[in-house]
A and B are shown apart, each in its own frame.
Chain A
Amino acid sequence: MHDSDFEIIQRVLAGEMRAYAELVDRHKDRAMTLAMRLLKNREDAEEALQDAFVRVFKALDRFEMKASFATWFYRIVFNVCSSALGKRERAYDISIDEDNLEAALSTPPAGNPEIEFDSSEFQQLIHEEIERMAPAYSAILTLFFIQELGYEEIVDVTGLPLGTVKNRLFRARTMLRVAVMNRMSESVGAKDNGSIKQEIIQ
């Protein structure tokens, strides 16, 4: 049976440094996914993630064992990646994504043949849409669905207000819904673009 995160941390603090590699191996893929969603560049994401893991190592003795390791860890990853993003793109603006959303909503449904939900085409469609999203949305989506954090935990990780977290999650999901709608036949789409757009405006 594998040790829990807490047990590994205790081993590291007791001087068994190699145990930290276990912790890195356990979390690196999910954390890398988050870093990629934020930085959109493999090299930058890997460098930022290395920094984050080293920071976590340095701060291990200050980690409170009563707290959630995942929340604490992803807060550090999120902050390091956000700083890297800030340095790289000072001009980064949320409105870039608003434009994308408006463009998506104004595109009429393509009327393509029905998509099988289990098909690789559907998976690929969702993948492409997430890749296309601005970091502000794809990161929240990743924290919610991949890291499986709740709203309050995402608030803790990102430092954003609860309303903003919920709003960004809603918008991210809506963007995906619009993308799917554009690919599905009209008989599958239960709602038209207009009604979804109306909801967003509201």
Chain B
Amino acid sequence: MSHLTSSRIFQLLDGVLDASEKQRVSNHLETCGECRQELAVQREIARSIKHQPLVVPSPRFTDAVMRRALIYERQSAFVHFLVQHGTMLALIIGLTIIAFSLSTMEGWDTAKETIHNLQPEKKISQYYTVAGRQLTDYLQSIREKTIDVVGWENLRLFLLTAVIMLTLALFDKLVIRQFMRTRV
């Protein structure tokens, strides 16, 4: 007769076996001294883990936490708002600047006219296609130096770069870190 696996013994100790399985394991234990011995060892190990002394933080721990909590409590509502919603606010501002930057490009009015004349169900995908094309053309123009990058154009380039970087940073903070928590 084969012995109970460690896994089965753990399940018995943890109380996660269903009634019929528990009965089968109990029947086996009645006739198998080795498995009873193993169960006893595992039970004692579990008991020992539970009775390990807890690690106590330093005596001033609670005071230190309360001091920091008090500092937070005394901050103004505006600071709380910035701390809690600052990244979202920055993201909205960033996207607004991108939209503004795109809408001031040459040819935008033509693109809008094109979109206006499209069938309603095609508008959304076409909108992003046109916006993407505009952005690519713009970056291409800068690379080929066919547009003047001094003055407003230069500022727009700076803003666009800054906004893209900001958006990526915020995306990392808001989305990636939420889903890719450091695993241990």
Contacts and interface: CB of A to CB of B under 8 A. Distances in A.
Interface of A: 17-18, 20-21, 24-25, 28-30, 32-33, 35-36, 38, 42, 45-46, 49-50, 53-54, 57-58, 79, 82-83, 85-86, 92, 117, 122-123, 126-127, 130, 135-136, 139, 141, 145-146, 151, 158-160, 169-170, 173-174, 176-177, 180, 184, 188-191, 195-196, 199
B143 interface: no
Chain B, interface residues (CB within 8 Å), range: 35 or more
B143 to A, nearest CB: 36
Nearest to B35: A190
Nearest to A141: B49
A53 B63 CA distance: 12
A177 B6 contact: yes
19 contacts: A20-B66, A28-B57, A28-B61, A45-B55, A54-B72, A57-B69, A82-B182, A82-B183, A85-B184, A117-B44, A139-B184, A141-B49, A145-B46, A146-B52, A146-B54, A158-B184, A173-B10, A190-B38, A199-B6
Contacts of B44: 117, 122
A58 B184 contact: no
Nearest to B16: A151
Interface of B: 3, 5-7, 10, 16, 34-35, 37-38, 41-42, 44-52, 54-58, 61-62, 64-66, 68-70, 72-73, 181-184
A50 B37 contact: no
Contacts of A199: 5-7
A28 B56 CA distance: 7
Contacts of B49: 126, 130, 141, 145-146, 176
Contacts of B182: 79, 82-83, 85-86
Contacts of A151: 16
Contacts of B42: 173, 177
A136 B182 CA distance: 12
B177 to A, nearest CB: 9
Given A36-B55, A58-B72, A136-B184, A21 B62 contact: yes
Contacts of B48: 117, 122-123, 126
Contacts of A25: 62
A43 to B, nearest CB: 10
A18 B72 CA distance: 14
Contacts of A85: 182, 184
A139 B33 CA distance: 33
A64 to B, nearest CB: 17
B64 A50 contact: yes
Given A30-B54, A145-B49, 17 more contacts: A17-B66, A17-B73, A24-B61, A32-B61, A54-B68, A54-B72, A57-B65, A57-B69, A58-B72, A82-B182, A117-B44, A123-B48, A170-B6, A173-B45, A188-B37, A190-B38, A195-B3
